[in-house]
A = this chain, B = another copy of it.
Amino acid sequence: MSEKGFTRFNRKAIKVDDALQSLLPFVSEIEAESVGIMEAIGRRLSQDIQTPHPIPHFRRSGYDGYAVRSEDLQNATRQEPVYLNLVDNIPCGEVPSVSLKEGETARIMTGAMAPDEADTVVMLEATDQVEDNGKTFVKFTKPVKSGANITPIGEETQQGEVLLNKGKDIDSGDMAVLSSLGFDNVPVYKKPKVAVLSTGTELLDVSEPLEPGKIRNSNTYMLAAQIGKSGGEPILIGKFPDDVDVAKERINNLLHDDEIDIIVTTGGVSVGDYDIMTDIFLNWEGHTLFNKIMMRPGSVTTAGVFNGKLLFGLSGNPGACFVGFELFAKPVIDRMIDGAGEHPKITALLEEDYLKVNAFSRFVRGRYEVKEGKVWTRPVGLDQSSALLSMKDANCLIVIPPTKTGLKAGEQVEVILL
């Protein structure tokens, strides 16, 4: 009999949301580090990014053409063109070399800095150059609007504005912002280190030949990918046989290892004689938070905490292991790096009948797809906790609430996007 009255056979099933909530007090934000900008791709910002300058930070020409003072052209017509004296040539990256006086113009490139006195750029195609007496003039045949074709300072953003928020995953658009603001090093969260252990005498290494009754250790590699996608760094500890003492020692070492932030085990959480994780969770130094959840698959998903460190006991069944990770471990890892936690949920329409009767909520591996502005979803593969193949095509979990009649095609369901 353990502290909370858990016994091997007499587990108290709690709601999915209550299980998640019980974990949250033990989630704390992980520390940050600074990485080179190229290493920042796909990482998560640990600070708001403010711009130290307005964008653009100079008055920028939007076209190749001529910078002018619009007042000089107010009477220009095709019949009576205005000729301005060409006094400067401003390529990108250079500053104007002279001030524009009345009657003067400067050749300017797209993206170049407009002279202070010019309020407009006239496109090259609308002009002609004329040589006269050793001087160059530019011919304009119509008036122009003040401000046209020059992007004012700060049009995109003012100095000091927060352009990227803490907690954002850095993608290509963010890379453009970070590099243009001069962040050659970028503040990002460290990746939470998640130790992965698989239990089971039946497990073979990936490289071992198959034997009757044995299967290869596949949950470890599946979890490694799930952890990486959640923003964590998988630390593969390996598999161990169904020996409580061995398992206890290994897990104990990890619980005391400052380099490990979270521990995830798979297998051994059921009620069989060899379910060693069940034994460990009944009798350990830590505090068991839950060991049964009102859901399928993965009802035996277990979690506890020791010294602020979370230990997850996921099912050894691949489908149940997958779902247990996504519903409980992913939100924890994601929150450690300032994420929203749970996957986004949307409402979708069932593409086909789902007639299975449930006492618990069922999280069915499925696919969703958009057709003519509507979102449709359907289960993929075999809907059993032991099924290995249904994850490979899933991009969502379809939430089937407890039902005595099943659901019909066309009914609305909640869908968790993976």
Q: How long is the Cα–Cα vector from A388 to B181 in the complex, in angstroms?
A: 11
Say yes or no: is A193 at the interface (Cβ < 8 Å to chain B): no
A124 to chain B, nearest CB (A): 7
Chain B contacts of A163 at CB under 8 A?
Answer: 389, 392
**A52-60, A280-288, A305-313: which lies at the interface:** A52-60
Point out the residue from B56, B95, B210, B388 that lies within 8 Å of A177, measured CB to CB: B388
Q: How long is the Cα–Cα vector from A111 to B229 in the complex, in angstroms?
A: 28
Point out the residue from B41, B221, B349 that lies within 8 Å of A176, measured CB to CB: B221
Say yes or no: is A216 at the interface (Cβ < 8 Å to chain B): yes
Q: By the criterion CB–CB under 8 Å, are B375 and A347 in contact? A: no
A236 to chain B, nearest CB (A): 8
A410 to chain B, nearest CB (A): 11
Q: How long is the Cα–Cα vector from A382 to B156 in the complex, in angstroms?
A: 7
Asked if A172 meets B37 with Cβ closer than 8 Å, knowing A55-B389, A92-B242, A215-B180, the reply is no
Say yes or no: is A5 at the interface (Cβ < 8 Å to chain B): no
Asked if A394 meets B173 with Cβ closer than 8 Å, knowing A91-B201, A124-B271, A213-B93, the reply is yes
Q: By the criterion CB–CB under 8 Å, are A213 and B94 in contact? A: yes
**A70-78, A138-146, A366-374: which lies at the interface:** A366-374
Interface readout for A381-395 with B: 1 if CB under 8 Å, 0 if not?
A: 110101111111110
Q: How long is the Cα–Cα vector from A273 to B55 in the complex, in angstroms?
A: 25
Chain B contacts of A374 at CB under 8 A?
Answer: 373-375
Instruction: Select the residue from A91, A151, A181, A228 with max chain B CB neighbours within 10 A.
Output: A91
Of all chain B residues, the one with the shortest Cβ separation from A222 is B176
A60 to chain B, nearest CB (A): 7
Interface readout for A172-198 with B: 1 if CB under 8 Å, 0 if not?
A: 111111111111100000000000000
Asked if A60 meets B386 with Cβ closer than 8 Å, knowing A110-B270, A210-B53, A272-B110, the reply is yes
A204 to chain B, nearest CB (A): 8
Chain B contacts of A223 at CB under 8 A?
Answer: 172
Q: By the criterion CB–CB under 8 Å, are B224 and A38 in contact? A: yes
A362 to chain B, nearest CB (A): 17
Give 20 new A-B contacts, CB below 8 A, not counting A110-B270, A172-B223. Answer: A41-B225, A42-B228, A57-B212, A57-B215, A90-B213, A91-B201, A91-B242, A92-B201, A93-B214, A113-B213, A124-B272, A171-B392, A173-B222, A173-B322, A173-B391, A173-B392, A179-B221, A182-B210, A346-B370, A373-B412
Q: Which 9 A-B pairs have the closest CB atoms?
A: A93-B202, A173-B391, A173-B392, A113-B213, A172-B225, A92-B202, A180-B218, A64-B272, A176-B222
Residues of A within 8 A of B (CB): 9, 37-38, 41-42, 53, 55-58, 60, 62, 64, 90-95, 107, 109-113, 124-125, 151, 155-157, 163-164, 170-184, 200-203, 205-210, 212-226, 228-229, 236, 242, 270-274, 316-318, 322, 346-349, 370, 372-375, 381-382, 384, 386-394, 412
